A and B are shown apart, each in its own frame.
Chain A
Amino acid sequence: MGYKVRQKNIIITFFTVCVLILVIRLFFLQLINKEYKITATNNVLRYEIIYPSRGLILDRNGQILVDNQSAYDIMITPRELEAFDTTGFCAIFDLSSERLDQMLSEIHERRRSIGYQSVIFLRQVTNEQYTRFLEKSYRFPGFSVQTRSVRNYPSAICGNLLGYIIEADPSFLEKNPEYRLGDYIGRTGLEEYYEKWLKGEKGYSIYLRDVHNRIKSPYEDGEYDKPSVPGKDMITTIDLSLQTFAEELMHNKVGSVIALDPSTGEILTLITSVGLPTKHLTNFGAYYSQVISNPLKPLFNRAIMSAYPPGSVFKLVNGLIGLQEGVLKPETRYSCNMGYKVGSLTVGCHRHPSPTNLMQSVMMSCNAYYCNVFRSILDNPVYENIGQAMDRWQEYLKSFGFGMRLGIDIPGELSGSLPGTALYDQIYGKNSWRSLTVISLSIGQGEIGTTPLQLANLAAIMANRGHFYTPHLVREIPEDPSFSPEVERKEVMVDEEHFSVIVEGMYQAVNAPAGSGATARLAAIPGVDLCGKTGTAQNPHGEDHSVFICFAPRENPTIAVAVYIEQGGFGASQAAPVASLLVEKYLTGQIHPSRQWLYERTLEQDLLTRHLQ
């Protein structure tokens, strides 16, 4: 029997060895190797993102510029789809049956990749469609509604100022790894610049899911869920009533309006026209092609991007520089005989009393006067050559904020163009240009390009008699006390004493009696000391651009405005009424009966036809 015992023992040993192999393997699998635990977690947990509500954008008085509302997307779950009443479905959503068939077949093709999930079938249906669908939803198995938060705009104002929300594209995601596919981001305007505050923090709920990605139950009763943190509301410097009033005035006109408080740099109103209507912003994707194909370029924020010749408003600057350089005295008189004529060169002027002193030259906007002023600046014997004088002149302009970004808190601001020695050396050759060559700069024509924002800033400098604050749009973020707008006080290179005579000229331009040759009498407001300067920028492509900058009241001004209307003709005819009506509305809260006709005329003006020819 001995060998039988041996075989029994060998068999038992064999069983034991095999079982030990299992045990050792289990030991490594369950106790040593951590990889499988992690994979199991990834396998089974599904993070459902909770999107935060985006921060509100309020005006300076707490009025809502942008808030959120619910949008309803009709979702489809292909796995649950059954035959349904297609005619009824089409009737609710205004679809043709061919379109529905086409959409369904597209979904059918994608059904494998969709699996058990739901995808958007109809995006942002109307409230009415939503309620009609809800009543009958039992008849449409496989369809459901998903509520989403979208932007809402209680007042129709300039969308370029606010910006829009759009799904993040792949290139953005690459640069910003904290965003995920399907996240919405702010684009352009305040939405983009203040994305960090507005977006809030995403939260998540953790669910257990099965192999088909179906949610089974909350994980640990939601103990590890993270609530979303809503975006921070922001109080802007915009005055909503003034903004909407300006929108009204700018209706059917192409150009920009900027009004700011010169004592702080706070922008009260910013308009680019033609801009993005707010009604297109909520579901911007749907209007994108329409916006892009519009010849008036609504996406282009003229107020901060377009470089226009400033026209006669630029005379203010040349006058101030002349005074500071000592080449001009308030009592200096130049004569004008319908223009400035040297040899073959003529800079034309309009008919006005002649000769004029400095104050009168501002009031009457004499071209010849500033040709003389500008020549004496450039040909100042203090400087070795014209190049040095030009460099000096350029420095002055920079101190006024020209040729550089002012630093407004919306993206896309451009610097305009500020010519200097280098440019003219390049165009004409070194030492082969003279003050006469660049004489058009004297009246704000030629190679200079300024943005409407820079012109508004010039108005603020005039109002402040020599300094300005960084123009900005956001005043306060209540939930973030550490936030303060990046505002700097900057001094221009012209002393305060030189301003009084120029400001007097601006005052007279508006308020001088009839027959005095004042250019902007149309802008006079009963009871308000408005100081302004007209400009008419030559436009080789059509009618001249109409420009007006102003501030009020004369002492301790509270508002400075720049209006630039493309192809508006004389500065006095289009831009001045808009600016003065705006100031009047802001300072008196109404339009004086004697100016009602001007208000109505401005509303009726339709300049779009000039652009669309």
Chain B
Amino acid sequence: MRRRNRSVLKKIDWWVVTIYIVLVLIGWLSIFSAVYDPEHGQIFDTTQRYGMQLIWILGAWFLAVVILLIPARIYALFSNLIYSFGLLLLIIVLVFGVERGGSSSWLVMGPIQFQPAEMIKVFVSVGLAGIMSRPHFHIKTWRGIFQVAAMILIPAALILLEKETGLALVLSAFVIVLYREGLPGWIPVTGIIAIILFLLSIIWDPLYVLWLCAGISFFIGFLLAGKKLPVLITVALLTGAYFLIPMLLELFSIDLFAHLERYQWFLLVAAPLVVVLLIVAFRRRIVYLKTLLLAFVSSIILIFSVGYVFNNILKPHQQARIETLLGIDDDIYGSGYNVHQSKIAIGSGGLTGKGFLKGTQTKFNFVPEQSTDFIFCSIGEEWGFLGAILVIALYMFLLIRIIQISERQRHSFGRIYGYGVASCIFFHVFINIGMTIGITPVIGIPLPFISYGGSSLWTFTLLLFILLKIDASNE
């Protein structure tokens, strides 16, 4: 026993452990600073959040030690069981969950309360690693894709039912794992393009997005086409018809746009062109043209479904958050308040910041959720650009280190699990920091290791130390 422990300590990746400890301590000091009040100056005061966070931290370290003592092989062995336990927790929450702040994702057992939706990252990572590391599993088969999609989407759906949209979206990060394990690159790329199109069509008039799609399609077509002339003719036909016909009609004093929206006119002009091109593509078997037209048509469908999704499926607070992110809703006292105040806090930090405990914006509660989701404000305000860069660099270093650890695993279970850890941490860090500086939507997910809260800290501790244990047992 003693020898094994010593071997764990010897083989553990101390770089990761060090970064972990540094991030956790930065978090603790930031929480102290964010809620600091001279009247409660004692940092160990457990009536205050920083005092509580210290308890969570000590608990997390105890948890880490326990993980390091548990044999690594149980995760691969019982991966299905562990995953199913996670699902069970989510279902229990749906039945017995306690409502807190608009979401019913909390389980309360006596003095302990936690959020299974936060913990699900661990279960899904283990479950995915278990399934995908089986010898006859292939991601490129329908069966494979169906399996992993189900394993990700079912918990995501359950979490959505708990109204924790942010934590459900986190699961989309597992696409990175799938990509690493052989998922064709076009699937995530298409996904990203779809998201960009979705966002653009909310900001812009659909007409401009249509022209953008057409422009990109023509550009790609021009690059791929054997003969360039037909492409140019097509471009000329579309633009000519779109602009000249209304001008001609105007000569006969017919105002085309009196009855027709401009984007409708565009579709009218483009439709015959697409049909003709499709016939050409099928007759002459031009593969790239078929794909391009398919992509173009599906983009158009996506663009017009956006309006429907946005207005009919998204809830008002989600609409507001997307609008805020896209700069449509500038109401700095309404839904834009959080982000506006957060940008003020971080922006006022300057190069070196105002110094520890000297931040004014976060300390005096101008930034809401300043110790949980918006904890990065405290760092940005008090430690400035340099401090913010340091924290981001620590995360980046941690991510690269985790990927390196993953890649050196002899068993694919460890590698897949490691990528799962990296994906989750990346998603949380990018979205969380992004939302405090106004470039990602405010979906309310914590900053790993730093944000206040036991569920989040313990989840990421579990994620990380299971990987470290697996790595230490890597023979």
Contact = CB atoms under 8 A, between A and B. Distances in A.
A136 interface: no
A40 B389 contact: no
Nearest to B361: A40
B347 A40 contact: yes
Contacts of A211: 364-366
Contacts of B426: 15, 18
A4 B183 CA distance: 11
B365 A11 contact: no
A35 interface: yes
Contact of A33 (B185, B347, B366): B347
A216 to B, nearest CB: 6
B364 A36 contact: no
Interface stretch (A21-29, A185-193, A423-431): A21-29
B176 A36 contact: no
Contacts of B180: 4, 7-8, 11
B433 A22 contact: yes
B344 A216 contact: no
Nearest to A219: B360
B419 to A, nearest CB: 8
Nearest to A45: B360
Given A22-B392, A44-B364, A211-B366, A36 B344 contact: yes
Contacts of A4: 180, 407
Secondary structure dominating the interface of B:
helix
Contacts of B384: 30
B39 to A, nearest CB: 10
Contacts of A70: none
B396 A26 contact: no
A340 B370 CA distance: 98
Interface in B164-193: 176, 179-180, 185
Interface in B416-453: 419, 422, 426, 430, 433-434, 437-439
A211 B396 CA distance: 34
Contacts of B389: 23, 26
B86 interface: no
Counting chain A residues whose Cβ lies within 8 A of the other chain, the interface size class is 35 or more
Nearest to B341: A43
A210 interface: yes
A19 B389 CA distance: 10
Given A15-B399, A40-B360, A208-B360, A21 B347 contact: no
Nearest to A210: B364
A211 B370 CA distance: 13
A29 B343 contact: yes
Contacts of B396: 15-16, 19
Contacts of B179: 7, 10-11
B368 to A, nearest CB: 9
Most chain B CB atoms below 10 A, which of A15, A31, A210: A15
Interface string A1-14: 00010011011101
B320 interface: no
Interface stretch (B99-107, B221-229, B252-260, B348-356): B348-356
A217 B357 CA distance: 13
Contacts of B365: 210-212
Contacts of B289: none
A25 B437 contact: yes
A280 interface: no
B12 interface: no
A484 interface: no
A35 B419 CA distance: 40
Interface in B251-286: none
A43 B347 contact: no
Contacts of A33: 347
B407 A30 contact: no
Contact of A31 (B38, B351, B434, B438): B351
A398 interface: no
Contact of B347 (A10, A29, A212): A29
A525 B299 CA distance: 112
Interface string B388-402: 110010011001100
B403 A27 contact: no
B303 interface: no
B385 A43 contact: no
Closest CB pairs A-B (n = 3): A36-B347, A40-B348, A210-B364
Interface of A: 4, 7-8, 10-12, 14-16, 18-19, 21-23, 25-27, 29-31, 33, 35-37, 39-41, 43-44, 208-212, 216-217
30 contacts: A8-B403, A8-B407, A10-B185, A11-B176, A11-B422, A15-B396, A19-B430, A21-B434, A21-B439, A22-B439, A23-B392, A25-B438, A26-B385, A26-B388, A26-B437, A27-B385, A29-B347, A31-B385, A33-B347, A35-B347, A36-B343, A37-B348, A40-B344, A40-B348, A40-B360, A43-B344, A43-B360, A44-B364, A210-B365, A212-B365
